Amino acid sequence: MSIQSIREFMPKNNLVYFLCLALLIFVVFPLSMDIFRLNLIGKYLTYAFVAIGLVLCWGYGGILSLGQGVFFGLGGYCMAMFLKLESSDPESTKIQSTPGIPDFMDWNQITELPWFWEPFYSFPFTLLAILLVPSIFAYIIGVAMFKRRVGGVYFAIITQAIASILTILIIGQQGYTGGVNGITDLRTLLGWNIRTDSAKYILYFVNGVLLFICLLVAQFIRKSKLGRLLLAMREREDRVRFSGYDVSNFKIFIFCVAAAFSAIGGAMFTLQVGFMSPSFVGIVPSIEMVIFCAVGGRLSIFGAVYGTLLVNWAKTTFSESFPELWLFAMGALFISVVMAFPSGLAGLYKSKVEPWLIQTYTNIKRYYLERNGTRPAESGETL
Amino acid sequence: MFSEYTSSELVSIFAMQGFAGLILFSVFVLMALGLAIIFGQMGVINMAHGEFMILGAYMTYLTSNIFSNYLPGFYGIYFFIAMIVAFLAAGSLGALMEFSIIRHLYKRPLDTLLATWGISLIMQQTFRSVFGAREVGVTIPDWMMGSVPLTEMVEIPINGIFVMCLTVVISVSVYFLMYKSRFGGQVRAVVQNRPMAGAVGINTEKVDRVTFGLGCGIAGVAGSAFTMIGSTGPTAGQLYIVDTFLVVVFGGASSLLGTIASAFTISQAQSTMEFFLSGSMAKVLTLLTVVIILMLRPQGLFSLKIRK
């Protein structure tokens, strides 16, 4: 890898964005907040995985999926199933009529562990399942839809229907899935208690590191030929097709990547919050995840993270103090993001803050150079 | 699963469930007709459609309260007044929404989806603040109570028959409006070729606004009919929106006949299965079948054969 290719992969200003975000997540938040608030931030950041996936698939690829909650939920449920099996060993469930199975199964008169729960005794399998189950599911949906050139609005409606189906299924099959309460009361991961403060700190940092890995993958896709092709496809799909590219394969790939990101987010959500329920799978959470991405700016992977943090922070603050105002604020947010700021926070930054920063930087530089008696620098210098 | 019933019982089960399915069908058709106009003809994804229906339902509730307090003598006919009120309220709000928001977003269909979702959140919260979070129901006038016995085991409720007749009347009038009237011709002209329609002197912006208002107004009437068979809560609209979109897409978005056919198929399948399986499994199976069929045949059941 030459210096040239590194520069192409990570231009100077993107490096600054990465460092700022890292500073915020790994230094500022942990130092300035108690563990309760930090845990909340960790929870918000799990949604940021979904938002980054949406930037790739909606912002770049032009595929609006209203079912990202499905993949978030699948990842979360895989992790929750493993944790639940671990916490319901025969020792701690001996008051049940069938010891050794999760408590909600016992309440629903199920006496035997269903077959699809069996493999989740194994941790390596669970980790694989978290990545593979949602990706394979996304692949199937993608092949069925994109190979037939279904896209845009129809794709959005069908993903929405899938989110709705999965929610009804989870709620309806209470004995196998925990129903509307979800899978609760998760305590340990491989014997390590995840509910202590120190565990929460560690999980927060693991979550942050995973988020940065996803950001780097997203950056790689963005800067590669694939990223440019996605943009081209979004604008003029036919022309890309006529140039000899198989458009549907790129779409399927990016949809699977977005699904895998969401699943990682879901799994980290389960670990940090300690439960998983169908209320993170359905249509409403899925559309909310789209708005996180839209507020941040649908073309900016960093914007997606900031947008997620901002909207969720606003949601928590509002619903703590004025619960009835929150839906109004959320509704207004949807409308104003679409009408007034189609490129979100990132767009505002690009058009307002960045020129100002560059101007200030140039002024400071000129001031110092003049004081030292050298000639003023050209004003075209940038950060 | 059929073995534990005798054949005469099976016939009556299918008849009763079929009738329950017909009521569901009526609600689907009324909701889907409005959506088929807005989505199928104009290409706007109106996620607030369910809320327009609930607006109609609340308008009916208000009208029924006014009648029972001030005009108890005319209570029997309040429903017809309520329907007009619901149509006007939902229709004018829809036209206002088109004028202030949707108009700017015709070129970005996915963004209309987000904007209308925002509108639906605001409407939901407004309903909750004004009418309370609890579900409300109207008192059905006396002549609509009771049921008609067909055989010993099959009884048909009168309010169900009424809702079905209403559906037929509205569907037929929408058909005439869209395919036989001057206005319908203008709408279809604008849909097919906007610049040409403008060039021959059609005021396309006005046609857009009226069409959108009409679709929302029909949703309001659907809500009005909905009060005859169930109670209304602030979030009830969200329960129906996905089903309705599926009905429209499944029928082939630009065909009104397809919409009606697909509403019939979906509602009958769902209500028949509901008797033998649990309600949630019936719904899952129905939706899943529809989604799979749509994956195999993305253009829906009935589609116009046109070159794209």
> Nearest chain A Cα to B245, which residue?
A157
Question: How far is the alpha carbon of A286 from chain B, nearest alpha carbon, in Å?
Answer: 12
Q: How much is the pLDDT for A64?
A: 87
Å between A373 CA and nearest CA of chain B: 55
pLDDT at A99 over 50: yes
Q: B110 vs A64: CB contact, 8 Å cut-off?
A: yes
Q: Mutate which of A60, A141, A157, A324 to disrupt the B interface (most B C-beta within 10 Å)?
A: A157
Judged by CB atoms closer than 8 Å, whether chains meet at A153 and B110 is answered as yes
Contacts of B124 in chain A (CB under 8 A): 327
Q: How far apart are CA A162 and CA B52, in angstroms?
A: 24
Task: Please list, in sequence order, all residues whose beta carbon lies within 8 angstroms of the beta carbon of residue A351, skipping any fewer than 6 positions away.
Answer: none
Is B122 within 8 Å of A148 when comparing Cβ atoms? no
Residues of chain B scoring pLDDT < 50: 307-308
pLDDT at A134: 93
Contacts of B287 in chain A (CB under 8 A): 161, 164-165, 168
Q: What is the mean pLDDT of chain A?
A: 85
CA–CA–CA angle B219, B224, B227 (5° rounding): 125
Question: Closest partner residue to B114 among A165, A290, A328, by Cβ?
Answer: A290
Instruction: Report d(CA B205, CA B211) in Å as an integer.
Output: 10
Contact B284 A328 (CB under 8 A): no
User: Can you give the pLDDT at residue A375?
Assistant: 57
**Are residues B101 and A148, on separate chains, in Cβ contact within 8 Å?**
no
Looking at CA atoms only, how far is residue A230 from chain B in angstroms? 17
What pLDDT does residue A209 have?
Answer: 92
Q: Where are the domains of chain B?
A: 27-139+158-237
Within chain A, residue ranges assigned H as helices are: 3-9, 12-23, 29-32, 35-54, 68-87, 103-107, 123-146, 152-172, 174-177, 197-223, 225-235, 237-242, 247-273, 283-296, 301-321, 323-339, 344-348, 354-371
- Measured between CA atoms, the residue of chain B closest to residue A293 is B114
Span between the terminal Cα atoms of chain B, in Å: 47
pLDDT of residue A210: 92
Interface of B with A (CB under 8 A): 43, 45, 101, 104-105, 108-115, 117-122, 124-125, 128-129, 238, 242, 245-246, 249, 278-281, 283-284, 287-288, 290-291, 294-295, 298
Residues of B in contact with A328 (CB under 8 A): 121-122, 125
Give the up-direction half-sphere exposure of residue A95: CA atoms within 13 A in the CB hemisphere.
3
Among A149, A154, A334, whose Cβ lies nearest the Cβ of B117? A334
Which sequence spans correspond to the domains of chain A?
A: 17-342, 344-383
Least confident of A2-16, A190-204, B113-127, B173-187: A2-16
3-state helix, strand, coil in chain B (%, to 5): 75, 5, 20
A328 and chain B: CB distance < 8 Å anywhere?
yes
Q: Which residues of B touch A338 (CB under 8 A)?
A: 105, 108, 111-112, 114-115, 118
The span from the CA of B186 to the CA of B178, in Å, is 9
How many A/B residue pairs have CB atoms within 8 Å? 115
For B130, nearest residue in chain A (alpha carbons): A324
Q: 10 Å Cβ neighbour count for A348?
A: 14
The predicted model gives A63-69 an average pLDDT of: 89
Q: Test B245 with A160 for CB contact under 8 angstroms.
A: yes
Decide if A327 and B124 are in contact by the 8 Å CB cutoff.
Answer: yes
Cα pseudo-dihedral A147, A58, A286, A203, rounded to 10:
110
Which is more confident, A63 or A323?
A63
Please write the tens of the pLDDT for every residue from A32-44. 888 888 888 999 9
- What distance in Å separates the CA atoms of residue A224 and residue A106, rounded to the nearest whole number? 51
Asked if A161 and B290 come within 8 Å (Cβ–Cβ), the reply is yes
* Backbone conformation region of residue A373, classed left if phi is above 0, alpha if psi is from -120 to 50, else beta: left
Question: Could you tell me if A215 and A26 are in contact, meaning their C-beta atoms sit under 8 angstroms apart?
Answer: no
A1 pLDDT band, cuts 50/70/90, is low
- State the average pLDDT over residues A40-51: 91
The residue of chain A nearest to residue B298, with distances taken between CA atoms, is: A150
**pLDDT at residue number B308:** 44
- pLDDT value at A264 more than 50: yes
Contacting residues of A for B288, CB less than 8 Å apart: 165
Per-residue confidence (pLDDT) for residue A146, from 0 to 100: 86
Q: Say if A339 is an interface residue toward chain B (CB within 8 Å).
A: yes
Reported ipTM exceeds the 0.90 cut: no
Is A290 part of the contact surface with chain B (CB cutoff 8 Å)?
yes
Question: Are the beta carbons of B119 and A331 separated by less than 8 Å?
Answer: yes
Backbone angles phi, psi at B149, to 5 degrees: -80, 130
Set of chain A residues whose Cβ sits within 8 Å of the Cβ of B284: 165, 168-169, 172
Tokens standing for residue B36:
């088929």
A332 vs B: CB within 8 A: yes
**Exposed (0-12), middle (13-18) or buried (19+): which is B303, by Cβ within 10 Å?**
middle
* Residue B306: C-alpha distances to residues A197, B115, B162, B299, B303 (Å): 63, 30, 38, 12, 9
Short-list A238, A227, A294, A304, CA closest to A265: A304
Q: Which two tokens stand for residue A219?
A: 């950056």
pLDDT at A50: 93
- In chain B, residues with a C-beta closer than 8 Å to the C-beta of A283 are 238, 242
Q: B156 in helix, strand or coil?
A: strand
Residue A17's pLDDT is: 85
Higher pLDDT, A4 or A328: A328
Cβ pair A158:B281 closer than 8 A: no
Chain B CB contacts of A160 under 8 Å are 242, 245
Residue A195 reports pLDDT greater than 60? yes
Across the interface, of A150, A172, A328, the residue whose CB is closest to B281 is A172
Q: Closest by alpha carbon to A215, among A105, A304, A97, A308? A: A304
Task: Select from A149, A165, A291 the residue whose CB has the most chain B CBs within 10 Å, as the one to mutate to test that interface.
Answer: A165
Nearest CA in chain B to A166: B284
Interface probe with B: pick from A146, A298, A322, A334, most Cβ of B within 10 Å: A334
User: What is the share, in percent, of chain A residues with pLDDT greater than 90?
Assistant: 20
What's the confidence (pLDDT) of residue A383? 46
Residue A261 has a pLDDT of: 93
